[in-house]
Amino acid sequence: MKLSIVIPVFNEKNTIKEILRQVRAVDLGDIDKEIIVVDDCSTDGTIDILKLEVDSSLKVLHHKQNQGKGAAVRTGFASATGDLIIIQDADLEYDPEDYMKLIQPVLKGKATVVYGSRFTGERRNMLYWHYLGNRFLSLVTNVLYNTTISDMETCYKLFTKEALEGLVIKANKFDFEPEITAKILRKGIRIYEVPISYTGRESHEGKKISWKDALPALWALAKYRVVR
């Protein structure tokens, strides 16, 4: 079995080397790792660091224009060859040591899609308005799609290759999260959740998502409830 780890990157020169070290260091037993970094036209020197990191375990893809996280993830998915695919942000908010927590339900035959919930595990508490926004979007997801997800916006989403078959994702930016969640649920797949650790950044530390991204997320949830 192989795990494809898709890492969308935009201007993360301060963290990219460390996250790659952590991803490489994770022991997955008999599961092979394929690391795919998609640089979304960084301008801060991230590309220079990536050139020094390339080896047989790491594939680096580049966007010639900045398109957004969703576009970078889609590029990574298209290049992935693993039986399992997981998304890994490059900002050190999420700990690769949690990979096996997400993989175990698949190995046990309990799930084909697993989300890591930031609200059921140990964490550095986020700002209240970020917390409220995340919880609200999860609530809307639950109401519209008849589910009980605690963390729809989590980065840690793990999919089997089969679960992604037939899905066409169009989102380029942070509305990727609600779109893929909506389409997975519309496909009849129940999402399995496991607790993960979380060390969130704030805007002064380089966090890119903000309250403004909630509106496209709400629109995506509503749109894909009625549009197939």
CA separation (Å) from 156 to 24, 57, 63, 85? Answer: 17, 21, 23, 10
Q: What is the pTM of this model?
A: 0.91
Across the strands, what pairs with 125?
A: none
CATH architecture of 2-226: Alpha-Beta Complex (3.90)
Supply angle C-alpha 138, 154, 208, rounded to 5: 105
Lowest mean per-residue pLDDT among 88-92, 184-188, 201-205: 201-205
Q: Of residues 227 and 158, which shows the higher confidence score?
A: 158
Report d(CA 189, CA 162) in Å as an integer: 11
Q: What is the pLDDT of residue 22?
A: 98
To which residue do tokens 């509106």 refer?
Answer: 215
Angle of helix 128-145 relative to helix 176-186, nearest 10 degrees? 30
Point out the least confidently predicted range of 106-110, 133-137, 167-171, 213-217: 213-217
Distant-in-sequence, close-in-space partners of 153: CB < 8 Å, separation ≥ 6: 134, 137, 138, 177, 178, 217
Closest to 38 in 3D by CA, of 79, 97, 2 = 79
Is pLDDT at 40 greater than 70 in this prediction?
yes
Q: Evaluate whether 48 touches 17 at the Cβ level (below 8 Å).
A: no
- Which pLDDT belongs to residue 142? 96
Rounded to 5°, angle at Cα 90 from 84 and 95: 65
Beta strands in 74-197 (DSSP E): 84-87, 113-117, 123-124, 157-160, 192-195
Give residue limits of the domains in the chain: 2-226
Q: Quote the pLDDT of residue 132.
A: 87
Instruction: List pLDDT tens digits, range 93-147.
Output: 999 999 999 999 999 999 999 999 999 876 666 777 778 888 999 999 999 999 9
